[in-house]
Amino acid sequence: MAFVNWLKRHLVVIAGLVTLGYLLLPNIVVTVFSFNKPKGRFNYEWQQFSTDAWRDPCGVADMCGSLSLSLQIAVWATVGATVLGTMIAFALVRYRFRARGAVNSLIFLPMAMPEVVMAASLLTLFLNMGAQLGFWTILIAHIMFCLSFVVTAVKARVMSMDPRLEQAAQDLYAGPAQTFLRVTLPIAAPGIAAGALLAFALSFDDFIITNFNAGSTVTFPMFVWGSAQRGTPVQINVIGTAMFLVAVLFVLAGMVIGNRRNRQKA
Amino acid sequence: MATVTEVEAPPVAPKSADKPPKKRGRLVPYWLLLPGLLWLVVFFALPMVYQASTSVQTGSLEEGFKVTWHFQTYWNALSDYWPQFLRSVLYAGAATILCLVLGYPLAYLIAFRAGRWRNLIMILVIAPFFTSFLIRTLAWKTILADGGPVVGALNSLHVLDVTNWLGFTAGDRVLATPLAVVCGLTYNFLPFMVLPLYTSLERIDGRLHEAAGDLYARPITTFRKVTFPLSMPGVVSGTLLTFIPASGDYVNADLLGSTDTRMVGNVIQTQFLRILDYPTAAALSFILMAAILIMVTLYIRKSGTEDLV
Amino acid sequence: MTNENSGDVRLSGISKTYGSFTAVHPLDLTVPQGSFFALLGASGCGKTTTLRMIAGLEEPTSGVVSLGDQDVTNLPPYKRPVNTVFQSYALFPHLDIFENVAFGLRRRGIKSVKKQVEDMLDLVQLGEQARKKPHQLSGGQQQRVAVARALINHPKVLLLDEPLGALDLKLRRQMQLELKRIQTEVGITFIHVTHDQEEAMTMADTVAVMNAGRVEQLGAPADLYENPNTTFVANFLGTSNLIEAEVDSRSGDDIVLKAGGGKLVLPVARCSAPATTGGKVLVGVRPEKISLTHADDAGEIPAGRNRITGKIADSSFIGVSTQYVIDSAVCPEFEVYAQNIDRDSRLVPGADVVLHWSPAHTFGLDAAQDIDAGVETAEEEAA
């Protein structure tokens, strides 16, 4: 009876942890199989422990090239989408203007559209314009679909900002430019950073839109896709594991620093 | 700062306080909007127009395509590919429901029960994003492999007998069946359900639970009458963020499914990139877009959450 | 601050409308250099809009704002020698206390701010907290930072927008005295917006009572209280008993009025309405000015006092005084505050009593006004 009661009380926790396990299971598999030494071309079955792939992560033809291309595109897409999106977010929150509803819809629609539809229609445009598919078409597409997400993230932050802070800055002799640089931007920074991070992740990991608009250029997700047909090198798992670890360490380090700073000040 | 002080906003133009006092600032919002909106118009809205026009063209790759208002393409596309459309809706719907059922306890756990573990769990939910989703989806091939531990367990628990009977699986296999595709879709879009749910759950004042308990509501009643209704915004945006991308996805169907599990995304991709039948591909894409927009609009109307952006 | 009048604030005909809503009707107001001036009124009366027009955060629809001899109407806020203590303070959350206070100096290009900021923080007793972030301070400390941040710029005028609204009662009392002390010390003109009538009366030399975008009455706190000109002021500042009466006759400096069955006397000087014989006037008296005598002792009441008979409807003991509600023919809810010095045990609900007060404590108002103006708003604010 005591056990049943305990179970009842912790049912939510158990169910939540099961879901968390479901979310993490593939990452565990990816990590474990990064130490595999597969027999054939595919790395789906466990054979024997080996650190070969970790010692030679770029040992597969073209993989690291595609990885660096993906990183480049992600960086530029992040910059572009963050700048344009932040501007739109400020305009939406801080100013009244006509056609507000239309602007809001135009920003909402890309998020409510299956990727394959955007991918296909963008390709139609590029084909009609006779554009050379490659780096630039990928970058254009990535900025396009990241933009709305940046707007949403920045808008939330700017909306929760007290307009009196900017008025206080003006009251304290800061002109419009100074007010923006010294008060508005620093306070909106977490929202902008969140938007930028999201844009980076979306761009780096995008496959569907890229697959349609890349031509013969190969980004990292496209390399993985291709290898799923031709044979999956263990190095893919090495990259996947490394990215996961880097992300976790990055966030943990940020939290530790943040905590320490708070403790010092308190 | 608990006291709410007098808010002396004039009733007519409450936002006017934010405006700079100078009149020359009138054009600023337009300059701020211009570059971004131009981008969206040229690379999002305009392509839709091109696509619409492509869908009513006829011709061939060699001779070029011309607009002939050939609406027959739509009819042909629908009659040829209705099973794929139906599958898309069914698989995406199933994945959405599974995401809600699996994601809600996790979001609830993070919002109310995690205590000092909250940040760690949040990181664990988000961090997998940084491993390419294709790599993670491929991992399901290993997990669900024929004769592997998962299939073995399902077999000895006679779950596979049930799913076989329902047509979700075939024989001793999970891989290359609808179950595998739905499982992959659920996995891929689960974070998109958990995060909005968490955001709206986190906003709920914990005292409301106590108040409900104080007013004779059992925990399950508190959930039904207080927690769940208050989390509706999260449920709505979570289901949209799951259903929309899932319905257009072709990666899971391709990697984890078989030719019998092809979804409309697979068809569009094949028509566009392999067969190069642009009109049919454009028509299919247009139908998918229209279907999604209609469904989303109806859903938002019904659930009464207009302001999702 | 060479010129003696350089800190005068002069508003000439300024108004503010939003679409069809008029927040402030054309208003003329002069706040002399060095005074502590309060704008008092309920929510939406236009007091904050007026303050924001002085600060430059709101553009007047019409009129001129001058500081001393300078017309500042078209100057943006960052070019006006005026600083504001904002409602809920608006401290910059990303800067520490030191940088918050130094903000104005730095924007004006002053390089060595350390000494000034430290002195200022010492003045508001926050020297130890210089490197903390605003959210780490208590409400009262944040309030003092907001004052320091504004005062360090030596503005000609300091504007305070409900500066104490977010503090609890005890701290508010303490800060009222503190602000008053600082004002006396620095000698800068303070314009203080508040909905709390006690706060306005405690701190300000001059109070302007605003209602629906207009200044109802302006004067020293005691004047406003003792001699209100409108029913709104009479009811909003403290409590007033208002009786509708008919002018019977004039005798010297007094007006004799008929109310119910009896007669009341009102000094001409204290009547803000034209009192023609046969016309109506509202007679007012403050609850604490009234004495209460049991009907059996009515003979002992000195002659020459205004009297009204009634029955005690309710009494509540609140420590320093007892508050009675009297049901009388002229007014169904007459309020009387009696000091608890010698309590008459016969004064319980149901007892017949005579209310009496000196004619000198009576005031007269125009009967054309709403007799309850300001009552509800005052109660809402108190809630």
Q: Tokens standing for B126?
A: 């988000």
Residues of A in contact with B54 (CB under 8 A): 124, 128
- Would you say C236 and C371 are in contact if contact means Cβ atoms under 8 Å apart? no
Contact partners of B by the rule of 3+ C-beta pairs under 8 A? A, C
Please tell me whether residues C218 and C253 are part of one structural domain: no
Of C189, C204, C226, the domain-final residue: C226
Burial category of B145 from C-beta neighbours within 10 Å (exposed 0-12, middle 13-18, buried 19 and up): middle
Contacts of A263 (CB under 8 A, 6+ apart): none
Spatial separation of the C-alpha atoms in residues A109 and A148, rounded to whole Å? 9
Spatial separation of the C-alpha atoms in residues A228 and C63, rounded to whole Å? 75
Please tell me whether residues C176 and C290 are part of one structural domain: no
Name the average pLDDT for chain C: 89
- Side-chain half-sphere CA neighbours of A173 within 13 A: 19
Please tell me whether residues C221 and C78 are part of one structural domain: yes
The CATH code belonging to domain A61-226 is: 1.10.3720.10
Domain that includes residue C329, residue range: 240-382
CATH of residue C367's domain is: 2.40.50.100
Instruction: Please report which confidence band the pLDDT of residue C374 belongs to, taking 50, 70 and 90 as the band edges.
Output: confident
Please tell me whether residues C139 and C272 are part of one structural domain: no
CATH of residue C166's domain is: 3.40.50.300
pLDDT score, position B8: 40
Task: Please report the ipTM that was assigned to this predicted complex.
Answer: 0.88
pLDDT score, position C5: 62
Give the orientation angle of helix B28-40 with respect to helix A63-94, to 10 degrees. 140
Coil, helix or strand at residue C244: strand
Please tell me whether residues C68 and C159 are part of one structural domain: yes
Report the gap between the CA of A157 and the closest CA in chain C (Å). Answer: 14
Contact A173 C92 (CB under 8 A): no
Task: Answer whether residue C319 is part of any domain.
Answer: yes
Cα–Cα distances (Å) from B230 to A217, B100, B205, C12, in that order, read 47, 15, 10, 52
β-strands C62-67, C352-357: how paired? unpaired
Picking from A19, C68, C381, A7, the residue whose alpha carbon sits closest to that of residue B187 is A19
- Would you say B131 and B124 are in contact if contact means Cβ atoms under 8 Å apart? no
Task: Answer whether residue C231 is part of any domain.
Answer: no
pLDDT score, position C379: 55
Spatial separation of the C-alpha atoms in residues A152 and A137, rounded to whole Å? 24
Residues of C in contact with A174 (CB under 8 A): 78, 103, 107
Average pLDDT of the residues in B282-305: 86
pLDDT score, position C373: 84
Flag whether pLDDT at B4 surpasses 50: no
Domain layout of chain A by residue ranges: 1-55+233-266, 61-226
Picking from C209, C84, C212, the residue whose alpha carbon sits closest to that of residue C155 is C84
Instruction: Please report which confidence band the pLDDT of residue B5 belongs to, taking 50, 70 and 90 as the band edges.
Output: very low
Q: How far apart are the first and last CA of chain A?
A: 47
Return residues 133-192 of A near C (CB < 8 Å): 162, 164-165, 167-175, 178-179, 182-183, 186-187, 189
Give the orientation angle of helix A2-33 with respect to helix B178-202, to 10 degrees. 120
Contact A170 C84 (CB under 8 A): no
- Would you say C38 and C204 are in contact if contact means Cβ atoms under 8 Å apart? yes
pLDDT digits (tens, 9 = 90+) for A195-225: 999 999 899 999 999 999 998 999 999 999 9
Contact A95 B28 (CB under 8 A): yes
Contact C52 B17 (CB under 8 A): yes
Instruction: Please report which confidence band the pLDDT of residue B2 belongs to, taking 50, 70 and 90 as the band edges.
Output: very low
pLDDT score, position B263: 94
Residue of A nearest to C151 (CA): A172
Angle, CA of A227, A231 and A232, to the nearest 5°: 70
Could you say which of A95, A112, A167 has the minimum Cβ distance to residue B240? A112
Q: Write down the pTM of the prediction.
A: 0.80
Instruction: Please report which confidence band the pLDDT of residue C276 belongs to, taking 50, 70 and 90 as the band edges.
Output: confident
Q: Which of A93-97, B174-178, C292-296 has the lowest mean pLDDT?
A: A93-97
Average pLDDT of the residues in A239-246: 92
Spatial separation of the C-alpha atoms in residues C221 and C247, rounded to whole Å? 29
Adjacent-strand bridge partners of C12 = C64
CATH class of B91-263: mainly alpha
A interface mutation test: which of B73, B138, B280 has the most A CBs within 10 A?
A: B138
Average pLDDT of the residues in B75-81: 91
Count of structural domains within chain C:
2
Buried/exposed code over C87-115 (b: 16+ C-beta within 10 A; e: otherwise): bbbbbbebbbbbbbbbbbbbbeeeeebee
Spatial separation of the C-alpha atoms in residues A99 and A30, rounded to whole Å? 48
Average pLDDT of the residues in C147-169: 89
Of C226, C252, C278, the domain-final residue: C226
> Residue A122: phi, psi to the nearest 5?
-65, -40
Of C226, C260, C291, the domain-final residue: C226
C-alpha dihedral sign at B283, B287, B292, B294: positive
Q: Tokens standing for C251?
A: 């005798």
Task: Answer whether residue C208 is part of any domain.
Answer: yes
Task: Answer whether residue C233 is part of any domain.
Answer: no
pLDDT digits (tens, 9 = 90+) for A121-173: 999 999 889 899 999 999 999 999 999 999 999 998 999 888 899 999 999 99
pLDDT score, position C381: 52
